Each structure stands twice: as structure tokens, then as C-alpha cells.
Chains A and B, each alone.
Chain A
Amino acid sequence: MVFILLSIVFVVLRIMPGDPVSSMLGGHAPESVIEQKKEALGLNRPIALQYLHYLWQICRLDLGDSMVFKQRVTKAIAEKIPATIELTICGILITLFLGVFLGAYAADRRGMVQDYVIRLYGIVVYCIPVFWMGLMLQLIFGIWLDMLPIAGRTGPRVFASTFEKTGLYVLDTILVRDFSALGDVLIHLVLPAFTLGLVLSGIFVRLTRANMLDVLKADYITAAEARGIRHRKIVYKHALKNAFIPILTMMGLQIALLMAGAVLTETTFSWPGMGRLLLERIYLRDYPTIQGVIIMIALIVAMASLIVDIIYAIVDPRVRY
């Protein structure tokens, strides 16, 4: 899958108009300078050769150098990726918590007002563009209530260099026991993570509700009712556990959506992650970096679905590979 995608990206980037040399040198560079630069970057060689060279590079886990900046692509990505990971993990935690809980509650109250309200919430929240949700949250909590910061990962008085190790700031600040910095990092995380989490929670509400409805009809639930176990315990312990398995598989499929949401959230909140890197480099037509980021995203998606499959096998003892 990754191979096919990177081939598609390679071809698309090359057949489209616009080239990195002119955006690098400005539109008025003399012809000879442009030719020289193209030669140096290897853009004059036949496409097939460029492609083979590119594949060989990737086999060696080398994503090449940026065409615009003097920088390794792998390094540029490595700098940005922790921010994206931190954001997406927090986002998915919020999504899971909200989505699964609301979905289970709706299934329990099937056909009642609460059920309809939650289902409506599912539809509406899914239809709100991530970036607009972000802007509105910024407006309400950042500007009107002036409670939360609306941009960046840290405030002006916190210096990331004092604690940066893994790039996951929450983890880093805990590691060096700098709790005032941890607080600062956390409040910067609240709005972006909630933006991402809220928008995706709509899908999980629907998934959980549908699965819970199936599970609640199962014989073992009736058996549990007959044994006189408290209703709430049956719904949230017995049923939810079983409904969670299909939800987990669906989660693997939602990773793609999560990554797309992360790109928009990052631009809205000036969050220095991979999405912003991708957009910045698209404007500069920096082919190697764009390819690198897209390969990275494809890898993340592929790895995430693998991890989900593994968790699936662990959680459900009935599954054996």
C-alpha cells in the first residue's frame, strides 16, 4: 500500500505544472542559473531514472534532502512528528471517551429523548468542519472567556529546550519534573485536542450505539438480567466490553480521518506538526519533503491498523491468528 501511494505521489508531483526551481529562485532568475540548479537537483534526468533513484533511496530509509532548505527530510519530519502524535493521541482519547460513553448511553435509552438527542449530536458534530470547530472554540474560550491559549504548544515564558527529549512535551515535562511547564503544555493542548476529539466523536457515537444495540439483544445479557445483576452494571460492564471489539476494528479505519483532522487542527492552532510542515512545503513545491510527509502519513496509517489488529487479538480471546 505504501509503495503504490508513493508511486502515485511521485507521478502526480512530476506531471503537474509548477516546479521547485522557479519557486526557489523567484520568477526572474536567468535561464543558465535555473538550468544549473535543475542539474544539481537531478531534475534533468529522465523521469524513470528519477523514479528508480527515488525508490532506491527509500529502500535505504533515506527520504533525501529538502530541495528548498539545506536540510534532511527525515530530520524535518522527525522534528515535527512528536507534536502531531501528541495531538492525535489526546484527540483519540477524548473521542473514545465521549463517543463510547454517549453511544452506550443512547443504546441503553433506545427510542427515548436522550437517544434522539445523542444521535442528533452524532450527525451534527460529524458535519462540523474541524477548522470551524477550532475557530469557534478559540473565539469562545480564547477570546471571550480568555481562559485558554489559542496557538502554539507552549506559552512565551516556557522554553521547550529546557526539557525537550522525546518531543512529546507532556512526557518530557513529567520526566524532568517541571510541573509549571507541564501545566502550561497541558492548557495549550486542551483546545486543539478537544477540537479533534469532538469532531471525531460523532462517528464513535454511531458505531457504539449500533454495536451496543446488537449486544444488548444477546442471550447472555438476558441471562445476566435474569440473575438480577444491576442494570447499569450489565450495560456498562458486560455489554460495553463486548461491543467494544467491533469498535476497535473501526478505530483502525478512522486513523486516516484522524490524520486529516490533525492537519486542519494544526493549521488552525498554529501547532507545529506534520500537517503544517506539509502545507508550508506544498507552497514551496519542495517535492522530497512533500513525498516524505505523505509516506510518513501512509506509514502511520498502516502501522496504526496493525497495532489495532494486535490489540484486537489481545482483547478478544476468541481471535487467534
Chain B
Amino acid sequence: MRYSPAAGIGWVISRCAGLGKKYGLEWWILVAGAIIILAIVSMALFAGSIAPFSPYDQDTGPQLAPPGGEHLMGTDNLQRDVWSRIVHGSRTILRVAVLAAIISSVLGITLGLISGFSGGFFDRVLSLVMDSVYSFPGLILAIALAAMLGPGVINITLSVAVIYIPTYFRLVRGQTLSIKEELYVEAAKAIGASGSTILWQYIFPNVIATTVVVFTLNVADAIMIEAALTYLGLGLPPSIVDWGMDLSMGKKFLPSGQWWLITFPGAMISLLAVGFTMLGEGLAEILNPRLLER
């Protein structure tokens, strides 16, 4: 059979609708979230061809021009095109948020697994440290870290990553503790499997499923922390295009009524966070069959 793109799309849509019937509203929340994320990710990937101007170009038109005409979202005080800066800025925020979530999930899951599996003094000390970090306002910790590390993409990523390690740690440790008592783990022990085999082949696969949801929601949170840090002027050097920094620059023009400088970057931050939250929410409801029974 010859492949036709229309039939392909039709198949995807019918599958989506079928799943939609099965899972109801939650599925559509998931799809909506995925579409938002896909749109913004492709914006980041093809930034060069989507943006009409360079984000650094300081001669795109009149100063502080309102949205309309050649400038979809107006221009800022340095005559840069706001829409081009938004398109390019998506790269920074996505990179930082996703990378931070990956770093904290890898560290948190590993530590949680080892801590829960081995127990003892190491487990107690680590749990205590993680609990105290967890109960402290994450943003304030990130502010302190970012300020001390100085501006830079890697530094801001690390500052954001640190505050989410306890989230994964607590989740994974708790699950490890309960899975450790399961019969199949005991069976593995009985046939002489080593500690690391049990940990990585028997416990790890059972733990990883729930962390997927946490990961998605974590990215949404990390987006807002990243934006907050750069808004406060802590995270990045001024040469990098970023939504949070555009927002703090636009803030100065608020009293004189240049609304487009703050409206669009902020709306994009919210939209991206909404996308990841919806994806996470949808996944949570679909992956958790207990909720579907209701």
C-alpha cells in the first residue's frame, strides 16, 4: 500500500479519538499539553527560520513600537523585535528546565534507591538532609545558590536542579522500602541474586513508572523557577536571550504603558508551564488506574 500523509494523519487522529473515548477528559488534557509543548519545542528548534529578525538586531524598526504591522509583538527600547526574542528565548528556558529536571531526577532516583535499599546510618542522615531541604522554600534556596554561583546557563541549571533532588529522593525511597518487602524480591534473594542486581533489575523498573509523572510536573515547576531567577537578574549573563530577563527589562516600561514588553514573555512562560502541567496531570490520571475506577 502506498503511504499517504493524509491517511497517516487520519490514523493518528482516529487513534487519539479512540483513546479519548477510553480515558475521557484526561486524555484530551494530555493531548492539549503535548500540543503546546510540541509547538514551543519546534519554535525553539527552528528559531532561526521562524524569527523574522535576529534577537540581537538593534535596528529592526522604531523604538518601543506597539504590536502590529512588521513587528508582531512590537519592539523594545533597544529597537529589537520582541517576537524574535521570544522565539529565540524559548531555547534557553527549555534547555535549563529540562536539563535541570534530568539532573535532579537522575541524582534523586539513584540516591533514593540506594538509601532505601541499604538503610542504616547512611539512609537516616541522607533522609534528614533531604527532608530539611524539601521543607525549605525551593525558590529561596535557588536564589541563594544562583547568586553564589554567578550568572551562566550551567550554573542556573544546577541551582534549579538541586532543589528538586529531594522530591525524587523521597518518592523513590518510600517505594523502594515497600518493594523491598515484596515476594519477588525475596525470591530473587533466594536464588542468590546480588544486591546490585536486585536493586537495578527488580526494584528500579518498578519505581521508574511513577517518576515519569513527577518528572513532567517537575519540568513545569523548573520553568517557573528559571523564569523567577532570571527575572530577579540572578541567572544569566545579559548576552543570552531569555523570557525572564526580557520581562525584567520590560518592567521598567510598565508605568509608561508599554504593555507588550511584559505581556508576551510572561504569557509564554505561563503557556509552557501549563503545557507541561497538563501533560503531567493527564499522565497521572491515565497511569493511575485507581483513579479511573471512581
> Looking at the complex, which of B62-70, B104-112, B257-265 is the stretch in contact with chain A?
B257-265
Chain B residues in 8 Å Cβ range of A257: 137
Q: A12-B144, A16-B148, A267-B232 are contacts. A136–B274 as well, Cβ < 8 Å?
A: no
Q: How far, in angstroms, from A150 to B254 measured CA to CA in the complex?
A: 10
Q: Could you tell me how many residues of chain B have their Cβ less than 8 Å away from some Cβ of chain A?
A: 44
Q: Within the assembled complex, what's the spacing in Å between the Cα atoms of A149 and B224?
A: 26
Known contacts A264-B228, A282-B147; is A4 also within 8 Å of B129 by CB? Answer: yes
Number of residue pairs spanning A and B whose beta carbons lie under 8 angstroms apart? 124
A131 touches B144 (CB 8 A): no
* Chain A residues whose C-beta falls within 8 Å of the C-beta of B139 in the assembled complex: 260, 263-264
With A4-B132, A127-B220, A267-B232: A143-B254 Cβ-Cβ less than 8 Å: yes
Interface check B20, CB cutoff 8 A:
no
Is B270 an interface position by the 8 A CB rule?
Answer: yes
Complex Cα distance A305/B134, Å? 14
Judged by a CB distance under 8 angstroms, whether A27 is at the interface is no
Write the nearest CB–CB distance from B291 to chain A, whole angstroms.
10
Shortest Cβ gap from B231 to chain A (Å): 5
* Residue with the highest number of chain B CB atoms closer than 10 Å, among A253, A256, A301: A256
Quick one: CB contact mask for B131-162 with A, threshold 8 Å, 1 for yes? 11101111110011101111000000000000
| Any B CB within 8 A of the CB of A85 | no
**Measuring CB to CB, which residues of chain B are less than 8 angstroms from any residue of chain A?**
25, 128-129, 131-133, 135-140, 143-145, 147-150, 220, 224, 227-228, 231-232, 234, 247, 251, 254-255, 257, 259, 262-263, 266-267, 269-270, 273-274, 277-278, 281, 294
29 A-B pairs (CB sep. < 8 Å): A1-B132, A1-B135, A4-B129, A8-B129, A17-B148, A123-B281, A127-B274, A129-B270, A132-B262, A132-B266, A132-B267, A132-B270, A135-B247, A135-B254, A135-B262, A139-B254, A139-B262, A139-B263, A143-B257, A144-B257, A150-B254, A150-B255, A259-B137, A260-B137, A260-B139, A278-B143, A282-B147, A282-B234, A301-B135
Residues of A within 8 A of B (CB): 1-2, 4-5, 8-9, 12-13, 16-18, 116, 123-124, 126-132, 135-136, 138-139, 143-144, 150, 213, 253, 256-257, 259-260, 263-264, 267-268, 278-279, 282-283, 290, 294, 297-298, 301-302, 305
